[in-house]
Amino acid sequence: MRAIGFDNDKYIHMQSEEIRKRIRELGGKLYLEFGGKLFDDNHASRVLPGFQPDSKLRMLLQLKDQAEIIIAVAADALESAKRRGDSGITYDMEVLRLIDMFRSVGLYVGSVVITRNRGESQAVTHLMEILKDHGIPVFRHYFINGYPSNVPFILSEDGFGKNDYIKTERPLVIVTAPGPGSGKLATCLSQIYNENVRGVHAGYAKFETFPVWNLPLKHPVNLAYEAATADLSDVNMIDPFHLAAYDKAAVNYNRDVESFPVLSAIFRKIYGSCPYQSPTDMGVNMVGYCISDDEVCREASRQEVIRRYYTALLQRINSRHGDQGEAERIESIMDEMELTTADRPVVTPALELEKETGAPVAAMQLADGKIITGKTKSMLGCCSAMIVNALKYLAGVDDAHELIPKHLLDPVQHLKTQYLGSQNPRLHTDETLIAIAVNAATDEYAARVLEKIPDLHDCDAHITVIPSSSEIAFLRKLRINFTCEPRYQGIKLFRL
């Protein structure tokens, strides 16, 4: 069983209570800028074992009668057809997906705001028409020259006053987005300004899981966040405003620290005084109070840093226009933590077996610590072989037992090579599991093996070559935390 280092139930209770407290403290209405992923926060679940990927969503469900959601998306992101890095879908489609997901769990989506408008845009108009056709109020906020430093202009009729005013109904307004750079903060500030003009006092707070403000600056959990945001060149730092105000160290990141003087000036203009002494004060994050086993989280974070390093190496191979310095920045974090790739338990077994066989190998560490390897075979690729071997081990099925008998294997390979244009007869992982599922109708061992698939979730794996895109997609579906060496098998120029 995977070691647990985080108390998820405690977190859900403490986090929802802290938000309720902030609503009361700020006069009964709160605009909450919601950073990071509301759904599928797999980074948090990896570095804080026990944190569930949907924890933030479950926390918000504790507040659903008080909450409504504004989704912000930037006009320039729509115009450039910007895509999410994880799912690959465009921001306009992610807006629609978010609305569906919020609604499916009973959260109220009040409106969508399209930020940083500079003029008419076909992409913006198209999304607005879709939203209006489905009865979703949609508003425009505009690009403001001098934002955020020209405070007098921003807080005027020609600045925030030019933006559409979003009429909200509930005491907690959650401002979220399809991805970074969507204008969440500007949306919150614009609304606070326009509420104040109308005689409504509304406060602002920020929800960010990382960095964890009440952990040490160089705690592995915070260093793992630096590795995760190496493409943004974010740097964790001691919040100097918090230190000056309270003589207490708190961790924040450079962008929030750099923007705080401007935010403070905006708040003073709106309210007459700033309700916060530091950027850390603006946050409501309770994650640091819910770590139940610090060493478990430290080790999980060390592993995450190494995973991020391999991911950066892969991105550098695959993208001519990617950030060429990202891997180097993560490597410097590894040096600081005295880590090498050999500290990832699945790396050395995979590389050593590859030396013996002369062909690609995959290795996986199961929850009990057992390392399972998979060699490239005539009928299975190394990832498929690793998955089959792992499932056999978990189900207690003898290694000699054929889960895909020849009378099933031959027609599948014939279909691939003769009719589907594949030059490689080996079965990918998804094809392997489908073939086993077919055999499970008559083979009790195959049926027993399939029942163990959930036990692969959150396991670590390493592959000695870059897998195909279809293999990568399926490993993600299995929720396997895989890495790979930054090299392809062979010298082909065209790959899928």
**Residue 178 covered by a domain:** yes
**Residue 107 covered by a domain:** yes
**Residue 219 covered by a domain:** no
Q: Would you state the pLDDT for residue 495?
A: 47
Q: List all residues 6 or more positions away from 336 whose beta carbon is below 8 Å from its beta carbon.
A: 218, 223
User: Which of 207, 228, 260 represents a domain boundary (last residue)?
Assistant: 207
Q: How far apart are CA 447 and CA 261, in angstroms?
A: 62
Q: List all residues 6 or more positions away from 250 whose beta carbon is below 8 Å from its beta carbon.
A: 213, 214, 238, 239, 242, 243, 278, 280
Q: Which domain holds residue 156?
A: 8-207
**Residue 257 covered by a domain:** no
**Residue 495 covered by a domain:** no
> Which CATH number belongs to the domain containing residue 467 in this structure?
3.40.140.40
**Residue 267 covered by a domain:** no
Q: Would you state the pLDDT for residue 320?
A: 55
Q: Would you state the pLDDT for residue 60?
A: 92
For the chain, give me the number of helices (H) and strands (E)? 20, 12
DSSP 428: P
**Hey, which bits of 208-342 come out as E strands?**
236-238, 251-253
Which tokens go with 19?
């938000």
Q: How far apart are CA 405 and CA 412, in angstroms?
A: 11
Q: Are residues 425 and 417 in contact, defined by beta-carbon separation less than 8 angstroms?
A: yes
Query: In the beta sheet, which residues pair with residue 133?
Result: none
> Which CATH number belongs to the domain containing residue 19 in this structure?
3.10.630.10
Q: How many C-beta atoms lie closer than 10 Å to residue 275's C-beta? A: 16
Q: How far apart are CA 461 and CA 371, in angstroms?
A: 9
Query: Do both 49 and 196 map to the same domain?
Result: yes
Instruction: Tell me the Cα Rg of the chain.
Output: 25
- Before 216, cis peptide (omega within 30)? no
Q: How far apart are CA 199 and CA 153, in angstroms?
A: 20
**Residue 332 covered by a domain:** no
* Polymer length of the chain: 496
Q: How much is the pTM?
A: 0.89
User: Which of 147, 180, 207 represents a domain boundary (last residue)?
Assistant: 207
User: Which of 156, 177, 207 represents a domain boundary (last residue)?
Assistant: 207
DSSP 164: P
Which tokens go with 341?
């790739």
**Tokens 């579906």 sit at which residue?**
477
Number of domains in the chain: 2
Q: Are residues 18 and 56 in contact, defined by beta-carbon separation less than 8 angstroms?
A: no
Q: How far apart are CA 311 and CA 280, in angstroms?
A: 30
pLDDT tens digits, the chain, 496 residues: what are they? 679 999 999 999 999 999 999 999 998 899 999 987 777 788 999 999 999 988 999 999 999 999 999 999 999 999 999 887 666 789 999 999 999 999 999 999 999 999 999 988 899 999 999 999 999 999 999 999 999 889 999 999 999 999 999 999 999 999 999 988 899 999 999 999 999 999 999 999 999 999 999 999 999 999 999 999 888 778 999 999 999 999 999 999 898 999 999 999 999 999 999 999 999 999 999 999 999 999 999 999 999 999 999 999 998 887 754 556 899 999 999 999 999 999 999 999 999 999 999 999 999 999 999 999 999 998 899 999 999 999 999 999 999 999 998 888 888 888 888 877 777 778 889 999 999 999 999 999 999 999 999 999 999 999 999 999 889 999 999 999 999 999 988 655 444 4
Q: How far apart are CA 340 and CA 261, in angstroms?
A: 39
**Residue 113 covered by a domain:** yes
Query: What phi and psi values does residue 107 have, to the nearest 5 degrees?
Result: -90, 140
Where helices occur in 283-381 by DSSP H, the ranges are 294-318, 326-336, 347-357
Q: Would you state the pLDDT for residue 85?
A: 65
Q: How far apart are CA 447 and CA 470, in angstroms?
A: 24
Q: How far apart are CA 393 and CA 404, in angstroms?
A: 16
**Tokens 């050999």 sit at which residue?**
342
**Hey, which bits of 75-229 come out as E strands?**
109-117, 138-142, 172-176, 203-207
